[in-house]
Amino acid sequence: MSIVSIQFLVFLVAVIVMYYILPQKIQYIVLLFFSYAFYLIGGVKPVIFIIVTTVTVFYSGLWIEGVRNKTDDKVRVKKQMRRILFGVAVFNFGTLFLLKYYNYFADKTNNIFGLFEYNIDLPLINIILPMGISFYTFQAIGYCIDIYRNKIKAERNFARFALFISFFPQVIQGPISRYNDLGEQLSAFHKFNYKQFTFGLQLMLWGFFKKLVIADRLAIVVDNVFGSYTYYDGTQTFLAIICYAIQIYADFSGGIDIVRGAAQCLGFDLMENFKRPYFGTSVAEYWRRWHISLTSWMRDYVFFPIALSKFSNKIGKFSRKNLKGHIGKQIPSYLPTFVTFFLIGVWHGAGGGFIVFGFYNAILMVLGMMFKPAFEKINRFFGINTKCLSWKVWQIIRTFFIMAAGKCITRSVNVAAGIEMLKKCADLMDFNNIVYRLFSMGLNVSNCFVLILALVLFLIVSIMQENDISIREKMSQQILPFRWSVYIFMILAVIIFGMYGEGFDVSQFIYRGF
């Protein structure tokens, strides 16, 4: 079921009505029932996988906690808990790898050995990737790690834990929630709150606008140019790369707004997954703002464990002893940075483009750390005021284009095609017949006009949010006629200018398959 469909809205209304009219003590049962009903719409087989993850992680969490409380031998306890955690992680991540990546690697392996005339024919599996498997697998394993670290207590109510894994608003798009946040909310009773309910609807409406009016309109240009990039010149290619960077942000953040809004209607506050990443002034800041639940998961469960490991400590002692100064201190963080971004790349999908994307960001992060003192000296030498607005705008524009170039690799047919498209951008100053060439990318005059207005509105709202202006709070303070004029305008904008025609599959969010 698409979250930008009438069916989803009807489903959500049914959930809200049943959730608030039935006794509070069974609210979580109501949500569990509807969450599995939502998941069953996609078929029975995908439900089997989410049940297996739920069962294995639930009982592993209890087992880890039981081992901790059983004996005072800390060394023995830690080893046993580590074995349990390792087992449940390997099983669930192994399942994720099998379903999401096995066919890709099996096909590549067959082709490689075929070049050397070895007859290796690894079989391919024909199983539809379960909806949201990357999100709920990472969420489940994070829960087990937190129990292992004694940050949370294991949930003893199986139904509540099953709801934590399958909570329907977040199962498609995320965010990847932590149990000490969402789990506590699932255990609480929720009364209908009019303000929270209206805020949720407003957030959903904004998400529909970003997805249907902006992202799906940009998708026309992106699909045309990336699908046949050899037919387009450097200017058109450059614009298509910029369009894709905006499309993926509007698409993913729009979907997150819809699910966060739906959860808020039910009284739940899911974490904010985006904080205007294209206002980041560096690659590091961009990643602190983009897909926050994933990057924070990688930071806490991958980066820090590697950075604090004995191996990293040895590297740190060696580098500080033999390489004096800034670089000697920074070297221990280079390895965990590469591992983290490699996994972030692979998480997004199988294929060389995603691996290149991961290493591309890792290299940028390492170079940024390595040359930070040098950049600061250059700025002081030339007397650059790094606090002024113009310098910040330059940093934002620079970072945006750097990230757009990286995203081009993941969207292209393959890595070679992505590099070829980036090379084409060198021929950017060809403005002959520019108007004709722009309208040959898929959008007519009226669609271009709508897109420009929508992007201007998107930018204004983002600037207001960046300056800590709560638009929903401001709207709640306005007179009723003005509020409803804005609501009706946005609803009509989505209905009239949303992309619903033949050839547009609104059910497919870019991150749906992740």
Where exactly are the structural domains of the chain? 18-191, 197-497
Q: Report the candidate in 281, 341, 192, 342 with the shortest Cα–Cα distance to residue 466.
A: 281
Among positive and negative, which fits the CA dihedral 100, 101, 106, 112? positive
The pLDDT tens digits of the residues spanning 110-124 come to 666 555 555 666 667
Reduced to 3 states, what is the DSSP secondary structure of residue 283?
helix
CA 269 to chain centre: 17
- If one compares 510 and 108, the residue with the highest pLDDT of the two is 108
pTM of the model: 0.89
Neighbouring CB atoms inside 10 A of 444's CB total 9
Q: Is the pLDDT of residue 387 over 70?
A: yes
- Return the biggest CA–CA distance within the chain: 79
Instruction: Give the 3-state secondary structure of residue 386.
Output: coil
Least confident of 176-180, 219-223, 350-354, 404-408: 350-354
pLDDT confidence tier of residue 504, bands split at 50, 70 and 90: very low
What integer is the mean pLDDT of 283-293?
Answer: 94
Mean pLDDT of 168-189: 87
Q: Quickly state the pLDDT bin for 179 (edges 50, 70, 90).
A: very high
Q: What is the mean pLDDT of the chain?
A: 87
Nearest to 203 by CA among 463, 417, 475: 475
- Could you tell me which of 402, 406, 449, 414 has the C-alpha nearest to residue 226? 414
pLDDT of residue 503: 44
Rounded CA-CA distance 259/16 in Å is 14
Query: Token pair of 135, please?
Result: 């999100």
Q: What is the pLDDT of residue 112?
A: 64
